[in-house]
Amino acid sequence: MRTWGSMEEFEAFLDAGGIVEVGDDMPHEYRQAVFAFIEMHANSELMGGLTERDWIPRTPGLRHKMSVLAKTQDEIGHGHLLYMVAADMGIKTRTEMLEDLFAGKSRFHNVFHYQAVTWGDQVAIAFLVDAAALASQQAVFKNCSYGPYRRILKRIISEEGFHMRLGEDRMMRIAEGTEAQRKLFQDSLDRWFWPALQLFGPDSKPNDKLLRWHIKSERNEVLRDKWVQKFVPMLHSYGFTIPDPDLRFDETTRKWVLGEIDWEPLKRTLANGGPDSTRRISEARDNYERSGWVREALAQ
Amino acid sequence: MTATTSLLDRCRQAIATVDDPEYPGVSIVDLGLVESLDVRGATATVGLIPTFSGCPALDMIANDVHRAVSQVDEISTVEVKWLSAPVWSVDRLAEGTQQQLAVDFTVAVQIGTGPVLCPRCGTATSHLSMFGPSRCRSVHRCESCREPVEVMRS
């Protein structure tokens, strides 16, 4: 077990590229910050997996159905691994984390507070949201100072990269489809563009602890801008419209610039007050309660 | 490429450039997914076997193989097939692949019925759940360093 005399010493260790391991005597504030971050990631994988699962019977065609099945397995599996890593930090047990989630006391990503109504929504999620999630995970992985999380992320990222390829495949199929299919996707794009963009969060604060302690390695606004520069031209090239009347191309910087972002929806969703938060949370709780006998049987 | 490299070898080399979509840097050849390669005239036929039949990456891998072999000079037609036999097992992993999975992905391999060792510290792990993020992997836990370990198995 390693220990550090002061926060300054610990921060110098992190700045020099030091990696913290589970048995280390890390400062409490660091432990708390890393734990909260992983807990939210784990919750998001679980809630995302349940959303994906809802689509298994409704997915059009065997080929897409196989990909939805596999994605469900991936997300639940990621949640499983992440809850292990989070519980090891000694702040909450796995059961406590799940109970807090179902009681609406903890957070999960904004995008899982909305309902996916059509297959077009599922395509938009796989194409836009998965890419946003992947970009933020890559930025954490690049330089993450907490070893157990960094190693899990390496595998999660390669699997999410695979999801993104599935998303691109789905998007191209729908884009090259009939007018009705294109209209379906445009409607979904109108609903999902802003929530996907807000996954990155508002601009990072100058004194962001996650950045200072090398948990994250990139500022939110930088990641968000990269996503905009990639997806706006890509969606345009397929003939779709970005739901922002103020969107413009800046000839000097050669960049796409969005209109003002309304952060209210993000604040509401993260406080579990999003359009579909109540139903999502109660379904997750019912699901957990219904499967209690499996956990009991396995523990025998 | 020198003139002495045969067409068959060049096709083989092209297939070896295809990585598993979930393990970037690990070739499908090293994972033992390539069962056969047949070159007749300008036509190459590749026979692949999946780690498990419901694997969602089948189309993606077949497309990647198709693209890679199509780029070989003198090849004009490529056929890629998923075979239903033989069945894939961890015995098909190339030498060194187990090590690569351990170092790059902290993934262990279940060979036979012996204990699975932690890729980080070498201690025997304990089995936690039959399935992890994929149906070809289970989840173990290292009791010594506490690492959650995904285990590739047949």
The confidence score (pLDDT) of residue A264 equals 96
Domain ranges for chain A: 7-299
Q: Which helix (H) or strand (E) holds B40?
A: strand B34-40
The confidence score (pLDDT) of residue A91 equals 98
| Digit-coded pLDDT (tens) for B42-58 | 999 999 999 988 788 88
- Tell me which residue of A258, A117, A272, A249 sits closest to A193, measured CA to CA: A258
Given an 8 Å threshold on Cβ–Cβ distance, is A77 in contact with B131?
yes
CA of A256, closest CA in chain B: separation in Å? 31
Q: Would you say residue B4 has pLDDT above 80? A: no
Whether domain A7-299 has CATH 1.20.190.20: the reply is: no
- E strand segments, chain A: 248-250, 255-257
The CA-atom distances, in angstroms, between A112 and each of A129, A273, A276 are: 10, 12, 8
A253 touches chain B (CB under 8 A): no
Q: Would you say residue A300 has pLDDT above 90? A: no
Chain A residues close to B148, C-beta within 8 Å: 81, 84-85, 148, 152
The confidence score (pLDDT) of residue B111 equals 86
Of the candidates A73, A148, A166, the beta carbon closest to that of B133 is on: A73
A72 touches chain B (CB under 8 A): no
Residue of B nearest to A45 (CA): B133
Least confident of A18-22, A247-251, B127-131: B127-131
The CA-atom distances, in angstroms, between A33 and each of A29, A30, A148, A208, B25 are: 6, 5, 15, 11, 32
The amino acid present at A38, given as its one-letter code, is I
Of the candidates B54, B60, B148, the beta carbon closest to that of A81 is on: B148
Average pLDDT of the segment spanning A238-244: 96
The confidence score (pLDDT) of residue A123 equals 93
The confidence score (pLDDT) of residue B54 equals 78
Chain B residues close to A162, C-beta within 8 Å: 21-22, 57, 60
| Digit-coded pLDDT (tens) for A168-224 | 888 999 999 999 999 999 999 999 999 999 999 999 999 999 999 999 999 999 999
Average pLDDT of the segment spanning A51-61: 90
Cβ atoms of A74 and A128 closer than 8 Å:
no
Mean pLDDT of chain A: 94
Given an 8 Å threshold on Cβ–Cβ distance, is B134 in contact with A70?
yes
What torsion do the CA atoms of B60, B62, B67, B72 make, to the nearest 10 degrees?
150
Given an 8 Å threshold on Cβ–Cβ distance, is B131 in contact with A69?
no
A295 touches chain B (CB under 8 A): no
A134 touches chain B (CB under 8 A): no
The confidence score (pLDDT) of residue A90 equals 96
A124 pLDDT tier (thresholds 50, 70, 90): very high
Given an 8 Å threshold on Cβ–Cβ distance, is B104 in contact with A154?
yes
Residue of A nearest to B59 (CA): A63
Average pLDDT of the segment spanning A34-51: 96
User: What percent of chain B is predicted at pLDDT more than 90?
Assistant: 75
Q: Which residues contact A279 (CB under 8 A, 6 or more apart)?
A: A115
Distance CA A242, CA A249 (A): 13
Average pLDDT of the segment spanning A151-179: 90
Domain ranges for chain B: 7-82, 94-152
| Digit-coded pLDDT (tens) for B53-102 | 878 888 899 999 999 999 999 999 999 999 999 999 999 999 999 999 99
Q: Would you say residue B1 has pLDDT above 60? A: no
Chain A residues close to B24, C-beta within 8 Å: 158, 161
The confidence score (pLDDT) of residue A298 equals 82
Q: Would you say residue A164 has pLDDT above 80? A: yes
Q: Would you say residue B2 has pLDDT above 60? A: no
Identify whether A57 is preceded by a cis peptide bond (ω within 30 of 0): no
Residue of A nearest to B131 (CA): A77
The DSSP string of B89-130 is: -GGGSPTTHHHHHHHHH-EEE--TTSPPBPTTT-PBEEEEES
| Digit-coded pLDDT (tens) for B110-135 | 888 889 999 999 999 999 988 888 88
Q: How many CB atoms lie within 10 A of CB A183?
A: 12
Straight-line distance from the first to the last Cα atom of chain B, in angstroms, rounded to the nearest whole number: 37
Is the ipTM, as predicted for this complex, more than 0.85?
no
Cβ atoms of B39 and B30 closer than 8 Å:
no
Given an 8 Å threshold on Cβ–Cβ distance, is A71 in contact with B56?
yes
pTM for the structure as a whole: 0.91
A151 touches chain B (CB under 8 A): yes
- In the block, tokens 């930090």 appear at A89
Chain B residues close to A155, C-beta within 8 Å: 105-107, 133, 150
- Tell me which residue of A100, A78, A75, A104 sits closest to A280, measured CA to CA: A104
Distance CA B69, CA B14 (A): 6
Q: Would you say residue B12 has pLDDT above 90? A: yes
CA angle A52, A49, B64 (to 5 degrees): 70
Q: Which residues contact A181 (CB under 8 A, 6 or more apart)?
A: A120, A174
Q: Would you say residue A165 has pLDDT above 90? A: no
Whether domain B7-82 has CATH 3.40.50.280: the reply is: no
The confidence score (pLDDT) of residue A15 equals 96
Of the candidates B60, B135, B141, the beta carbon closest to that of A73 is on: B135
Given an 8 Å threshold on Cβ–Cβ distance, is A66 in contact with B23?
no
Given an 8 Å threshold on Cβ–Cβ distance, is A162 in contact with B146?
no
Chain A residues 176-215 within an 8 A CB cutoff of chain B:
none
The confidence score (pLDDT) of residue B90 equals 92
Q: Sign (positive/negative) of CA torsion B78, B84, B90, B95?
A: negative
A152 touches chain B (CB under 8 A): yes
CA of B86, closest CA in chain A: separation in Å? 22
The confidence score (pLDDT) of residue A218 equals 93
Chain A residues close to B22, C-beta within 8 Å: 158-159, 162
User: What percent of chain A is predicted at pLDDT more than 70?
Assistant: 100
CA of B141, closest CA in chain A: separation in Å? 9
User: What percent of chain A is predicted at pLDDT more than 90?
Assistant: 85
